[in-house]
Amino acid sequence: MALKTLQDLFVDELKDVYSAEKQILQALPKMAKASSSPDLRRAFETHREQTENQVARLDTIFKQLGASPRGKRCKGMEGLLEEGSERVQDEGEEAVIDAGLIAAAQRVEHYEIAAYGCLQAYATLLGQEKAATLLEETLQEEEAADQLLSKLANGGINQAALSVVGESVEEE
């Protein structure tokens, strides 16, 4: 796609984040299933519901713009989720795996926070007030999800992972 205007960039970035959200929808149930912490599992399940709403908001924005959400694969999210899938497949101590799932999920949240922050700024500059409002709503949800993950990590999951006593396996 030729990026000649900020509007072109806005639509291209919207397509990227749309692809990212669709990929996240597929990953969240796996992360929830891999969680041993009921609170962490619930956080992933709740965020899946939010993500469905975020996709619906993006659909609304695309309709307002008369553009299609199709045509782009978010490679950044693909890589982040591929790394996260390693945590889902890991075997070991439950608390340690939960701590790893949180780390993987926070990487995803930080990616989304950056994306939605930029998109909201572009929408504002372009005079797309309805889109800016919808994007701000999603940005706030992503920031809240990140804060919840930090609260779960600092509220006991990381400490439980630290207290696991066992043999450490190091790569040679």
31 part of a folded domain: yes
134 part of a folded domain: yes
CA–CA dist 32, 39 (Å, integer)? 10
1 part of a folded domain: no
Question: Percentage of residues in the chain with pLDDT exceeding 70?
Answer: 95
pLDDT digits (tens, 9 = 90+) for 49-99: 999 999 999 999 999 999 999 989 999 999 999 999 998 898 899 999 999
172 part of a folded domain: no
Buried b (16+ CB within 10 A) or exposed e, 25-61: eebbebbbebbebeebbebbeebbeebeebbebbeeb
Q: What is the structure's pLDDT at 172?
A: 44
Question: Percentage of residues in the chain with pLDDT exceeding 90?
Answer: 88
170 part of a folded domain: no
CA–CA dist 10, 25 (Å, integer)? 22
128 part of a folded domain: yes
pLDDT digits (tens, 9 = 90+) for 8-58: 999 999 999 999 999 999 999 999 999 999 999 999 999 999 999 999 999
Q: pTM of the entire structure?
A: 0.91
CA–CA dist 15, 42 (Å, integer)? 28
36 part of a folded domain: yes
Q: How many domains does the chain have?
A: 1
Domain that holds residue 158: 6-66+74-162
| Domain containing residue 156: CATH number | 1.20.1260.10
